């Protein structure tokens, strides 16, 4: 009986103390006087690719962590691997005060087609069966033996490939055909 009365008193005073404490906290909301603002350096994304990024930074407080679209908070404000679109970034300071801002990753109009990674392997693996020694007896005249020659013939290549006339033997995948079309549309660069 005595023990339990004591325990009740302790519990009661603990409850009062906790209430007082949380009232104090509410009266001194650290976020009320904090004004966080966000800014970002943005890299656009190529059409259909996840190669955009947002490098956000925050000011107005300290100890920031950052979240993209409600995801986990991380110490870096840089988010990469993004497709074109609009994203909400949240910055949180050391007192859990937050600010949000939306940023738009623009779509880049120039397609990102690498000659060396995407076009060259098609030419060398597929077209060189017939087009490497162009000009010699028995080989067609479209000379595709060097990147410069491939570049010179870019429009013809695209016409033949999209029409399905080339490769004369074998097939290209639709992804390979699209890569060739995008490469020609980008001005047929061979230095990338």
Q: Which residues bind ligand HEC (CB under 6 A)?
A: 122, 126-127, 129-131, 140, 142, 153, 156-157, 160-161, 166-170, 172
- In DSSP terms, which residues pair with 45 in a beta bridge? 107
Q: How far is the CB of 186 from ligand HEC (least distance, A)?
A: 17
- In DSSP terms, which residues pair with 41 in a beta bridge? 55
Q: How far is the CB of 172 from ligand HEC (least distance, A)?
A: 6
Q: How far is the CB of 49 from ligand HEC (least distance, A)?
A: 23
The candidate with the shortest Cα–Cα distance to 127, out of 176, 87, 184, is: 176
Distance from the Cα of residue 71 to its chain's centroid: 15
Q: How far is the CB of 192 from ligand HEC (least distance, A)?
A: 19
Count the Cβ atoms, other than its own, within 10 Å of residue 46: 18
DSSP 106: P
- Distance from C-alpha of 49 to C-alpha of 79, rounded to nearest angstrom: 15
- In DSSP terms, which residues pair with 38 in a beta bridge? 58
43 vs 139, beta carbon nearer ligand HEC: 139
């Amino acid at each position: 009986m005595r023990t339990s009365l004591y325990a009740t008193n302790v519990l009661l005073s603990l409850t009062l103390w906790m209430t007082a404490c949380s009232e104090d906290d509410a009266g001194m909301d650290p976020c009320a006087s904090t004004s966080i603002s966000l800014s970002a350096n943005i890299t656009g994304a190529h059409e259909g690719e996840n190669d955009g990024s947002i490098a956000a930074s925050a000011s107005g407080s300290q100890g920031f962590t950052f979240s993209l679209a409600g995801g986990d908070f991380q110490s870096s404000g840089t988010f990469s691997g993004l497709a074109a679109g609009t994203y909400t970034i949240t910055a949180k300071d050391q007192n859990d005060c937050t600010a949000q801002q939306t940023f738009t990753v623009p779509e880049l109009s120039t397609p990102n087609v690498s000659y060396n990674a995407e076009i060259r392997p098609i030419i060398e693996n597929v077209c060189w069966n017939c087009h490497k020694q162009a000009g010699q007896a028995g080989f067609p005249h479209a000379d595709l033996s060097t990147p410069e020659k491939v570049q010179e013939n870019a429009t013809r290549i695209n016409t033949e490939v999209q029409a399905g006339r080339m490769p004369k033997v074998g097939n290209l995948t639709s992804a390979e055909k699209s890569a060739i079309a995008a490469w020609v549309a980008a001005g047929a660069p061979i230095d990338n």
